[in-house]
Amino acid sequence: MANGSLPSAVVIVWWFTGLQVFYMGYLSGASAAAADTWATEIGTLSNRKPGLTTSLVEVPNGSSGAISLLGFLGSIGGSFSIVVASSPWLRNGNFFQISLIVVSAGIIGSIADSLAGATIQSQYTCEKCSRTTERLTCCDRTTTRSKGWHG
Ligand SMILES: [Zn+2]
């Protein structure tokens, strides 16, 4: 919902107005969501521990609010996948220019999300494996909230 509702509203506006700026807005929103997902999934595979966005203190892999080089590259891949997927609908647009805008928006959105993750998002700790997570359960047990707001 958080990732999809605003882009969905924007793409409906584009559909009725035909103004490309709205389609770009939609792609940027989708790009940020994809960048964030890819960064999390790929960044988790990193051998090196990621740093927390706010302090660059090393934290366990997969932590919310953490960034790593591999995760950053993942976010570029995620954003670019949106450009590629949307290319059949990009009429009279400069592909390179559009790629640049949408990929930049994805990376900025993803970093903004990591910042939010490092500051205001809830984090939970698993008492069994001591991993920090956004999930409410880990190792088949309930995690305990360690920071941030509930939600
Ligand atoms: Zn666990």
Report pLDDT digits (tens) over 45-89. 766 666 665 555 666 666 666 667 788 888 899 998 988 888 776
Same domain, yes or no, for 135 and 80? no
Q: How far is the CA of 14 from the centre of ligand 1 (A)?
A: 44
Same domain, yes or no, for 69 and 83? yes
> Residue 18: exposed, middle, or buried by beta-carbon count in 10 A (0-12, 13-18, 19+)?
exposed
Same domain, yes or no, for 95 and 147? no
Contact 15, 25 (CB under 8 A): no
Output the pTM of the full model: 0.62
Please list the alpha-helical segments (H only) found in 87-129.
95-119
133 lies in which domain range? 123-151
> Looking at residue 59, what is its pLDDT?
64
> How many domains does the chain fold into?
2
Percentage of the chain lying above the pLDDT 90 cut:
2
Residues of the chain with pLDDT under 70: 1-4, 46-67, 89-93, 117-121, 147-151
14 CB-near residues (< 8 Å, 6+ apart): 20, 22, 23, 25, 26
Same domain, yes or no, for 95 and 29? yes
Q: How far is the CA of 44 from the centre of ligand 1 (A)?
A: 15
